[in-house]
Amino acid sequence: MHPINKQVVGQDRIETSVSLEKRSVQKIQRARKLLYLNLVIYTIISIMEIKVGQQTHSVALLSDGENNFTGIISALLLIVGLGFSKMPRDKFHLEGHWQYESLAVFLAGLMMVLVGVDCIWNGWLHLIMIIHGHGQPVSRNAVYFALLSGLTMLGEYIVNKVIGKKMMSSSLLAAAKDYLSDSATSFGTMFAIFVAVIFKIRWFDTVSALLLGCFIIYNGSQIISTSASKLSNGFDPVIRAKIRANMMSNERIAKVCFIDSRYSGDNMIIDAQIEVAGEMTVTESHQLCKDVKEHLQAEFPVLYCCLETIPGKRPICRLVNGLWTCFEMIGFIMMIIPKT
């Protein structure tokens, strides 16, 4: 059973789950600790890749370093966003500040797209230089550092993915997706530099930087799409169907008329209208709503649930309506049958 917090802000009152709020704050605190670790790793890898890329004249490694630089910005955005999201409610945010997390994820994805465009631009400029006979050969030392970067990012992806799924944290899952793309780009960079060094194909390193930029843009757009869906009150119809099934499992509910669900951060806000027996009293309806909320909160991270009950038709009324419909159908049939 989830205790309810009745917080008064000015003249408005909203009832939310206290236990879910506490768990959400604890989840944010744990996520921020892991994001600080992500920030340190991204900073070290990015600085070293850019420095080694300049020394070895590898455009692909430089692009990979710029890509990892977005990880620094993303981690900072997520840390700040999570910090704002756990702020207490005020008269402007009756449901809390949980949406700051989704906003931070959106901005992190946007940063990835911008850096991807920059990688494509730099790669194109270096490709033109190579076509005109400029540029320097790539050193094989870049291969080893790209391999080290790929293995580090892969390890961080596994850690963020496992903990993010366990905590149901969109911030850590977004960070995991970022790490996966970074790992793939680092291994791709290693392969491109290896081919450029072994087979003396100087343009291969530059072309791989162009492909790397496209890959960064794709992953960034995926993160933007997911977070924008939450910010615009989008909701997965499959989850909405599960919520409907959860409600209908209560025998006192005759029908679920509609469900409007949305996200507030990683938490759900549910508005629904249910049909109950016409002879049900106000007290019984109120108890039914409490039972439905508790059952929903046991299965889903529901922060706030607003239920409206409407009375269903009594059995005798249904019988009368059914008979009246039959008489109307008979009259309609008699009208269309040609008279002899």
DSSP percent split of the chain into helix, strand, coil, nearest 5: 70, 15, 15
Cα separations (Å) of 326 from 312, 314, 318?
Answer: 21, 19, 12
If one compares 182 and 307, the residue with the highest pLDDT of the two is: 307
Q: Whole-number mean pLDDT of the chain?
A: 80
The pLDDT of residue 134: 63
Q: What distance in Å separates the CA atoms of residue 158 and residue 152, rounded to the nearest whole number?
A: 10
Q: Region 144-169: what's the mean pLDDT?
A: 87
CATH class name, domain 237-336: alpha beta
Report whether pLDDT(10) > 60: no
Q: Region 159-172: what's the mean pLDDT?
A: 84
Residue-wise pLDDT tens digits, 113-136? 887 888 788 778 777 877 776 656
Same fold, 4-231 and 237-336: no
Judge contact between 183 and 153, C-beta under 8 A: yes
The pLDDT of residue 231: 87
Domain boundaries, the chain: 4-231, 237-336
Range with the lowest mean pLDDT among 52-66, 112-126, 182-196, 312-326? 312-326
Q: What distance in Å separates the CA atoms of residue 185 and residue 149, rounded to the nearest whole number?
A: 10
Residues in contact with 76: Cβ distance below 8 Å, sequence separation at least 6, in sequence order: 39
Percent of the chain with pLDDT over 70: 85
Q: What distance in Å separates the CA atoms of residue 61 and residue 49, rounded to the nearest whole number?
A: 6
The pLDDT of residue 125: 78
Q: In the structure, what pLDDT confidence band is assigned to residue 6 with cuts at 50, 70 and 90?
A: very low
Q: Which is the CATH superfamily of the domain at 4-231?
A: Cation efflux protein transmembrane domain (1.20.1510.10)
Q: Region 220-248: what's the mean pLDDT?
A: 89
Report whether pLDDT(315) > 60: no
Range with the lowest mean pLDDT among 83-87, 169-173, 175-179, 318-322? 318-322
The pLDDT of residue 247: 92
If one compares 340 and 72, the residue with the highest pLDDT of the two is: 72
If one compares 127 and 104, the residue with the highest pLDDT of the two is: 104
The pLDDT of residue 338: 61
Please give the helix or strand (H or E) that residue 313 lies within, else none: none
Residues in contact with 244: Cβ distance below 8 Å, sequence separation at least 6, in sequence order: 256, 259
The pLDDT of residue 109: 85
